[in-house]
Each structure stands twice: as C-alpha cells, then as structure tokens.
Chains A and B, each alone.
Chain A
Amino acid sequence: MAKIGAKRAVYPLFQLGGPQLRIFRPNFFMLAVRPGVPQPEDTVQFRISMEMTRVDVKNYLEKIYNVPVAAVRTRIQYGSNRKRNHKNQRVKKPDYKVAYVQLGQGQTFQFPNLFPEKEEDAETHSHDDFRNKYMEREKQRQEGDPRRESMSSTSTNGARTGTLKSG
C-alpha cells in the first residue's frame, strides 16, 4: 500500500543483502497486441510500460492474471520521428516496449477477432428506410420538372440522336 509502481517513482536503494522490492499497487500497463509477424502458438505479444523488465512481466502475468509463463523476451520499439505536421515540425510517435511471452504448461493462444460482423439492428434498418424514402421523394420531384425532357417524349420522336441532352 505504501509503495506505488508509477512513472518517476522513487524506489529504495538496493544493496547486497537488502530486502526484495515489493510494489503494492503497480501502475504498469500491459496490453495484448495482434502480432504483425506470425508467432508460434504458445507466444503472446504484449506492449508493456517502458520501466518493466522481463522478470516484472513474468510476475505480473503470474500474480495478477494467473497465467503460467515459461519465458519472456523484450525489446524496445523506436517510434518514428520522421513525419512532419503542417508547420513542418517533426512529430514523434511514442516509443514502446514489446514483450514476447511464451506460455507454460503447453498452453496456446490465438489473438481473437474483436470486431466480428454483427446483424443489422433496428437502428440501421430505420436509417436505410429513411434514406430510401428520401431518394424516392427526390426522384419524384425531379420527374415532375417540366424543364427536364421526359423519356416518353424522346422515344415517340422515333429518330434517336447519338448525343444525350443533359437535364
């Protein structure tokens, strides 16, 4: 309760023989991502806080999420600083740390599809109906316009010219 794992947190100095650092309310985030490159079945890819180490990741998953972890590998992904905004200033994409976690006990993981296609509900139906009615009304209004050449008048003339008259 006393110690918080957060940005700019002041941790007590560790010297040989000292007590193990314990963080009571960690503020470290960890989010699962869909791997860009296909990973083996037991590997899960996470984006983690920059301050976390692989030991931290292992403890985090085991203690908070109850997931058995066999191995963790981490790397830091550099976010590009190349893009420029309308003032020609460089815009930095934030750096982040990636962790590849291999699950223990022979477990596997597939990143799920979080946006499955759902059936249209009443709202979309009503919107479509409204749109169709509007289009019909517009068409009727334009058909009744005397300035426009109707199809029946052109067809009764017989001779059809190649050029189309614009309405």
Chain B
Amino acid sequence: MKLSSRHLGKGQSLLSPSGALARRRLRRQVLWDEGAGGVMAVGVGVAALCRRLQGSLRLSGVRPGLMTAGIPGLTPGLFHKSQVKVELLHQFKFLHTTLSRKGLEEFFDDPVNWGEKSVKSGDAWNIKQLRAKSSEDLHKLWYVLLKEKNMLLTLEVESKRQLKPMPSPERLEKVEESMKNIDLVVREREIALRLLQTGHEKPVPGEWRHDFLGRTYWYSYKEWPIPWYLNKKYKKRKFYYLPHVERFIRLRLEQSLRTRARRQSLEKTKQKLLERKFPHLAVKSQS
C-alpha cells in the first residue's frame, strides 16, 4: 500500500519556523516510496538539507522566525523555563523548554501516533525504483531512512520497557530492506564507474590464496604501515599447505561431487514424480 505524496510548498524551506513539521511531512512522503512528483518536491524543499549535509553546519542558537511569531512555549530564554514547564504538563504534545528540540524530536514518531496499536506505512523501496533515482536523491533518502530506523529502534526498546507491543514492527524490516537496496544500487554504480575509469571491478585488489587446509579463497590486500616481512603476525599466517593435506583435498572434492550428484538426482526424481502425477502440465519440448 503506497501513501499519497503530499506536496511540499515551494516557499517552505526546512529551516523555517515550521521546519520540523515540514521535515516530518517530507520524511513521510519520501520514506514510503512516492511518485515522480514527490521527487521534485524533495529536490526543491531539501536544498537546505543538502547544503547542511555537504557544507559545515552553521548552528544558529535563535531562529528569528520563532522570535517574531512569539509562540508560547517556544520562546527562548532560560528564565522562561519554569513558566513553560507548567504549560507542558497540560499538553500531550512533545514540547520542550528550549529551541531546536526538533533534533531530538526526530527520535520519536509523530505524537499523533503515540499509543496507537498500528501505524500505516507504505512498501519498501524496490531496487528498480531506486535505480531510477539520482545519486543525490539516494544520499538524502539514506539519511531519511537512517533517522526512521533510529526512531523505530527507539520505539522498540521503549515498548519492551513498558511491556507493550510495538505498533507495526514490520516497518523496521522495510527500512532495512530499503537501506540494503540503496547500498546495492550505489555499489553497482561505483563498480560501473570504476570499470570505466580503471578497468578494475573491486575497490580493493586481491588474489586467490590457499590456507593451511588446502582450501582456496580470495585474499584481499590490507593496508599496513610496515612491509610484510616486518609484520610478525602476518608471517605466522600460512598461505601454503603441506603434502599430507592433498589426501584431504581429494576427500573434500569427492564429498562435494557426491552432494551435487545427490541433489541433481533428487531433482530428477521429483520432476519425474510430478510428470507422472500431472501429465497435462508437462513441459513439451520444441522439436
């Protein structure tokens, strides 16, 4: 089930007074796979986010928007703390005495969803859908998903502490899958670029080596500050096998061949059984 995308107004930027709400809306719409229109909104509305991620973070203690708006409960000043705390008790909303709590608010879900038995969420991001996105979009999506994952993990631990069931735990799996897919797509692009530029597929060079049991494996080179002949631990490692191991190599080979033969014959017998039971479904050979 896919949620409808909610368009982020062009005038709204993420660092505006309603930044937290806008960012939450943005998160919701970007997170669970929206249409192409949503991507445009992401590009426009999250320019500020991009700048923040790329450049240095300029933390302004006081946001001018909130000062002028004079929102009760959010005006800055330490001497207001006691006054505001009394108001807090009457509100269910997650308000705090000081500004930029929007940071820590992102560890928790929308206050509307607190106490709900289930929270609706869309599907996980597919690899095909992610391949269509630009690298910048994938970068932003990664962080959105990361924050969502943190939020869900927080909820999970808190629900265990309070001995209550976590609402919609399948969201965690979806987020994990989406992040894995982003990783795969980025890896694919990197490999393609590297092949074009250098002709190598792997980021780290390596070679096939034997271990002391005669097994062959891919050894990838590691970075060391000293050459290998001065590395005592490395010199203790054996990348060769002694002649007496050859017999065991042969036995291992025989075992693998035997298992492969058994698996193939099992497949054949199963196929024959099915053909006998359902002759009308047999695959006809085109001759």
Contact = CB atoms under 8 A, between A and B. Distances in A.
B150 A68 contact: no
Nearest to B194: A2
A15 B225 contact: yes
Given A13-B224, A66-B57, A114-B108, A31 B157 contact: yes
Given A31-B154, A32-B107, A33-B154, A1 B149 contact: no
A108 B96 contact: yes
Contacts of B106: 65
B115 A116 contact: yes
Interface in A107-161: 107-110, 112-118
A97 interface: no
Which one of A2, A4, A27, A32 has the highest number of Cβ atoms from chain B below 10 Å of its Cβ?
A32
A1 B57 contact: no
B100 A112 contact: no
B183 A4 contact: yes
Interface string B63-93: 0000000000000001001000000000010
A67 B104 contact: yes
Contact of B100 (A10, A33, A64, A68): A68
B261 interface: no
Contacts of A118: 115-116
Interface stretch (B27-35, B159-167, B228-236): B159-167
Interface in B203-225: 203-204, 220, 222-225
Contacts of A65: 103-104, 106-107, 147
Interface size class of A (residues with CB under 8 A): 35 or more
B147 A64 contact: yes
Interface string A10-50: 10110100000000111101111110000000001001000
B94 interface: yes
Main DSSP-derived SS at the A contact region? loop
A167 interface: no
A50 to B, nearest CB: 14
Contacts of B81: 108
A33 B153 CA distance: 10
Contact of B143 (A2, A4, A64, A106): A64
B169 to A, nearest CB: 14
B61 A107 contact: no
A122 B220 CA distance: 61
A115 B159 contact: yes
A11 B113 CA distance: 40
A145 B183 CA distance: 69
A4 B179 CA distance: 12
Contact of B98 (A10, A66, A105, A112): A105
B100 A67 contact: yes
A114 B139 contact: no
A115 B146 contact: no
A45 to B, nearest CB: 11
Interface in A84-121: 105-110, 112-118
A63 interface: yes
A61 interface: yes
B198 to A, nearest CB: 13
Given A24-B139, A33-B157, A107-B99, 14 more contacts: A4-B183, A15-B225, A29-B149, A30-B150, A32-B104, A32-B108, A63-B52, A65-B147, A66-B103, A106-B78, A107-B97, A109-B101, A112-B114, A114-B115
29 contacts: A2-B190, A4-B186, A10-B220, A10-B222, A25-B186, A30-B150, A34-B161, A63-B57, A65-B106, A66-B59, A66-B100, A66-B103, A67-B103, A67-B104, A105-B61, A106-B98, A107-B100, A108-B81, A108-B96, A108-B98, A112-B108, A114-B114, A114-B115, A114-B155, A114-B159, A115-B114, A115-B159, A115-B164, A118-B116
Interface of B: 52-53, 57, 59, 61, 78, 81, 92, 94, 96-104, 106-109, 114-116, 135, 139, 142-143, 146-147, 149-150, 153-159, 161-162, 164, 179, 182-183, 186, 190, 203-204, 220, 222-225
The 10 closest A-B pairs by CB, nearest first: A67-B103, A13-B223, A31-B153, A65-B103, A107-B98, A31-B154, A32-B107, A118-B115, A116-B115, A66-B103
